[in-house]
Amino acid sequence: MSEVIMLAEKAREAAGRLAITSSGQRNRALLAMSHALTHHQESILEANTRDMDAARAKNVGASLLDRLELSPARLKSMSEALRALSLLPDPVGEVVEGYTMPNGIRLSKIRVPLGVVGMIYEARPNVTADAAGLCIKTGNAVVLRGGSLSVNSNITLANVLSNAATAAGMPEGCIQIIESTDREAAEELMGLHGLIDVLIPRGGAGLIRSVVENAKVPVIETGVGNCHIYIHSEADADMARKIVINAKVQRPGVCNAAESLLVDEDVYERVLPAILKELESAGVAIVADEATRSLGAVMRIEAATEEDWGTEYLDMKISVKVVKGLDEAIRHINTYGTKHSEAIVTNDYMAAQRFLNEIDAAAVYVNASTRFTDGGEFGLGAEIGISTQKLHARGPMGLTALTSTKYIAYGSGQIRE
């Protein structure tokens, strides 16, 4: 039996026992895990140093190095996140609905853990602690498979957290990490139908696509966001400018940042120049259609290609296009968007309603930045990712996204006529 199957079978056994732990027991385990991160700070940072050295030797870029690096301050914030999780209400056990059947059977639909959650993710080692915490909170076992750059950090973190959780009464095997970072190990994990209840990939578009293509277990697609801001002809120009700058510049490397700007042809000559200038002075590279380029508002605007309309830059870059009006804007977004977050700026009531109704995305905004699509902002308390699919969960996924339901029925001898 392969290492991956062995880990998954241990996780499945642990899941059976986890499902009958109490909320109080699980919260105590989260506190122990929180404590362990600071208690074992030295070994975790030592493992991280090995990862950082190896990454530098591979000439990994600065932004990736930054995501990879752990520090006492970052460990403290990971530790605090686990403590905060212990204080959130527990969705497991909630009676979602109930009904007494005409024959007297009392039926309840109750929230239960999913079972075994698989996580496949890239460089950031904090995902290891986040995912382990969210899974323990919701009574799920977890099988982690992180990227190769953070392999030492991930293994050390997972061992520290797993030991703390089991010492606090959680079943052996509840937090598993696949040490191999070979592609084969990930593919094996994706194929474990019957052992893995859901697989959540977190990372770039390539990783997500590979998981969706190859998995035989249920997958929740997350996080690819080719988000648009659409400035309608009835937009307040100043509001539009502030929203575009915020959505693009405030944190360009995240999935809810704007990647593309659409402007109605009635107003682009009046509205766009100030926005383009502010984008340029913020250091944003601009690619655009002919109409925008002919404005000559800023020094250099390259021509946008067909590929640009479908690209999530995750960087200080934006594509700009003039559209005929609402219909073209909606069509463009539903064609090139990734169903993540989309915004219209307008003071026209009917245009706002049509945009909300007709745009097919997890979150649709009128007169606000797309940057708000986030578990914390949406009041979910914690987030395991942002679903861009429609099945099971859509948009920011909080604790309930890690649960399923089960019907329980109290009878007194009823049989079906």
Residues making contact with its own copies (CB under 8 A)? 16, 19-20, 99, 101, 105, 107, 109, 114-115, 193, 197-198, 212-213, 216, 218-220, 236, 239, 242-243, 245-247, 250, 334, 352, 356-358, 360-369, 371-373, 377-379, 389-392, 394-395, 404-416
Contacts of 284 (CB under 8 A, 6+ apart): 248, 249, 252, 316, 317, 318
Task: Name which of 123 and 235 has its Cβ closer to its own copies.
Answer: 235
- Distance between CA atoms of 113 and 218, rounded to whole angstroms? 15
Task: Name which of 168 and 352 has its Cβ closer to its own copies.
Answer: 352
Task: Name which of 59 and 412 has its Cβ closer to its own copies.
Answer: 412
On the 0-12 / 13-18 / 19+ scale of CB atoms within 10 A, 222 is: buried
Encoded tokens for 6: 């062995």
Assign residue 296 a region: left if phi > 0, alpha if psi is -120 to 50, beta otherwise? left
Q: How far is the CB of 267 from its own copies (least distance, A)?
A: 17
Task: Name which of 34 and 388 has its Cβ closer to its own copies.
Answer: 388
Q: How many CB atoms lie within 10 A of CB 65?
A: 15
Amino acid making up residue 155: I
Q: How far is the CB of 328 from its own copies (least distance, A)?
A: 14
Asked if residues 367 and 242 have their Cβ atoms less than 8 Å apart, the reply is no
Identify the sign of the CA torsion 256, 260, 266, 269: positive
Q: How far is the CB of 346 from its own copies (least distance, A)?
A: 11
Amino acid making up residue 339: K
Determine the Cα angle at 150 with ends 204 and 206, to 5°. 15
Task: Name which of 5 and 60 has its Cβ closer to its own copies.
Answer: 5
- Distance between CA atoms of 397 and 349, rounded to whole angstroms? 30
Task: Name which of 9 and 179 has its Cβ closer to its own copies.
Answer: 9
Q: How far is the CB of 197 from its own copies (least distance, A)?
A: 5
Task: Name which of 289 and 342 has its Cβ closer to its own copies.
Answer: 342
Q: How far is the CB of 279 from its own copies (least distance, A)?
A: 15
Task: Name which of 137 and 339 has its Cβ closer to its own copies.
Answer: 339
Encoded tokens for 122: 């890239």
Q: How far is the CB of 166 from its own copies (least distance, A)?
A: 20
Q: How far is the CB of 327 from its own copies (least distance, A)?
A: 12
Q: How many CB atoms lie within 10 A of CB 144?
A: 26
Contacts of 232 (CB under 8 A, 6+ apart): 264, 326, 329, 344, 345, 346, 348, 351, 355
Q: How far is the CB of 88 from its own copies (least distance, A)?
A: 16
Asked if residues 368 and 74 have their Cβ atoms less than 8 Å apart, the reply is no
Residues present in the chain in total: 417
Q: How far is the CB of 227 from its own copies (least distance, A)?
A: 13
Task: Name which of 149 and 326 has its Cβ closer to its own copies.
Answer: 326
Task: Name which of 49 and 405 has its Cβ closer to its own copies.
Answer: 405
How far is CA 280 from each of CA 20, 202, 287, 309, rounded to the nearest angstrom? 57, 31, 11, 19
Q: How far is the CB of 217 from its own copies (least distance, A)?
A: 9
